Structure 1
Amino acid sequence: MTRAETKERNRRALLDAAFHVVSRDGYRARLEEIAERAGLTTGAVYSLFGSKSGLVAALVTDYLRPHYEEIEQAIPAEMDLLEAVDAFARHYRRSCDAPDALSGLSLQFTLLDMALHDPELGSRLAASVRTQESRLIALFTGRSHNGNVVTSHQARRLATALRALFVGLSQGVMLGLAHGADERYFADTACALASDAALIDHDAGAPELRGSE
């Protein structure tokens, strides 16, 4: 095994171990236990991630990346904005029934608790989320909507609103608080939100939807 392969193997082992320990213990998670579970030393954590905060931030990126890759695959480039939002919403709803959905929900709550206890970590976690969310913004930018084209500024506002909507709805589904919230409900609610001109245009400093060329 090459040095690079060994490094990636150790990185993967630490991320997998961190997922289990952090999901269970939150901000009380101990690096010693994470390293021991991975079959490594705490020195490997510092060498690969710099700190406990660095490891947790990398864990968030590692957890989110495949989800955004799946979203990109679920939304073809030829769709207009509302078709893309509809497909995104249905994909998000299906993810609530995935085998790892509950463990993912547990991790969400745990990371929020950690961010509240450690503002510096909170900033790093937010940066990790924004990095992945930029892929969603790019996915919406340039799509047609009512004869116009969505700008990156408008796509960013929409992505923020959809994230808040879907996180809340998915938590409700998994906790049994959103009865009847099936794929159609997710899609109809998201498209109603995306269709609202006030959501897309309401910003004194924001550019208006540019006309299609």
Structure 2
Amino acid sequence: MRVSRAEARERNRRALLDAALQVVSRDGYRAKLEEIAERADLTTGAIYSLFGSKNGLVVALVTDYLRPHYEEIEQAVPAGLELLEAVDAFARHYRRSCDAPHALAGLTLQITLQHMTLHDPQLRTQLAAAIREHEEHLTGLFTGRPHNGSIVTPHQAQRLATALRALFVGLSQGVVLGLADEADEQYFSDAACALASDASRLVRQPGPVPRDR
């Protein structure tokens, strides 16, 4: 059966992303394009053709890794829930993901990428943009939900999504590393709901920035 050019391109792209996950997770910013290409049974020219650069490959790797994560979150938090109910569902789903077989590998990649951005400001900017794009899924997840007699606005949802992501990343690292034995689903839920409940502080609308005196 003849493979189309588009199918071959996608197959090569997938092979390079799988190889990059292994090499980048192990070597970080020292990862060599030659080894990634060799593992994928391709050439470095294929990397430049498909991703433009080493940074382009890393950003695509992060996007590829995050996409199913956010798709699972959207499925775990159904429409029709009030804000705190949605936050509870999100928290419990995040805690369950800490026990998944790939949790340690995910943490390894996360720490490795943080280390890489310390050595490459351009990559840091590119990764930040990619992560913000995916965080918009969380913003959409909370926007429009009832809370304390009002409806959560997009700006409020964005502030909440940023805070919750930071909370869960920190807690999940503790769980995976064995440093937070008591952080079960209820703990994740209680912490997240406490963070989200005081809407007057956490999700207030932007105001003027105070000037230094």
User: Could you state the TM-score of these two structures normalised by the residue count of structure 2?
Assistant: 0.95
Paired residues, number: 206
1:142 to 120, 125, 144: 144
In structure 1, give the amino acid aligned to 2:38.
Answer: E
Q: In the alignment, which residue of structure 1 is the partner of 2:132?
A: 130
Q: In the alignment, which residue of structure 1 is the partner of 2:207?
A: 204
| 1:193 aligned onto 2:195 | yes
Q: In the alignment, which residue of structure 1 is the partner of 2:73?
A: 71
Give CA-to-partner distance per residue, 1:26-76, whole Å, 9 cap, x none. Answer: 000000000000000000000000000000000000000000000000111
Long gaps (5+) in structure 1: 207-213
Q: Distance in 1 between matches of 2:38 and 2:191?
A: 46
Q: Distance in 2 between matches of 1:135 and 1:3?
A: 32
Q: Distance in 1 between matches of 2:138 and 2:162?
A: 10
Q: What displacement does 1:202 show?
A: 6.5
| 1:4 aligned onto 2:6 | yes
SS at match of 1:86: helix
In structure 2, give the amino acid aligned to 1:172.
Answer: G
| 1:91 aligned onto 2:117 | no
Percentage identity across aligned positions? Answer: 74
2:15 to 13, 28, 33: 13
Contact 2:156 2:205 in 1 (8 A): no
Q: What displacement does 1:205 show?
A: 5.0
Long gaps (5+) in structure 2: none
In structure 1, give the amino acid aligned to 2:115.
Answer: D
Q: What displacement does 1:145 show?
A: 0.3
Q: Distance in 1 between matches of 2:78 and 2:186?
A: 19
Q: In the alignment, which residue of structure 1 is the partner of 2:114?
A: 112
User: Could you state the TM-score of these two structures normalised by the residue count of structure 1?
Assistant: 0.95
Q: Distance in 1 between matches of 2:208 and 2:61?
A: 36
1:25 to 5, 19, 27: 27
Q: What displacement does 1:151 show?
A: 0.5
1:47 to 46, 49, 72: 49
In structure 2, give the amino acid aligned to 1:186.
Answer: F
Contact 2:155 2:205 in 1 (8 A): no
Give CA-to-partner distance per residue, 1:104-157, whole Å, 9 cap, x none. Answer: 000000000001100000111111111111011011100000110000101010
Q: Distance in 2 between matches of 1:111 and 1:192?
A: 30
Q: In the alignment, which residue of structure 2 is the partner of 1:182?
A: 184
SS at match of 1:201: coil
Q: What displacement does 1:203 show?
A: 3.7
Q: In the alignment, which residue of structure 1 is the partner of 2:84?
A: 82
Q: Distance in 1 between matches of 2:95 and 2:207?
A: 34
SS at match of 1:98: coil
Give CA-to-partner distance per residue, 1:157-211, whole Å, 9 cap, x none. Answer: 00110011000000000111112100000001100100023111164259xxxxx
Q: Distance in 2 between matches of 1:76 and 1:185?
A: 21
SS at match of 1:39: coil
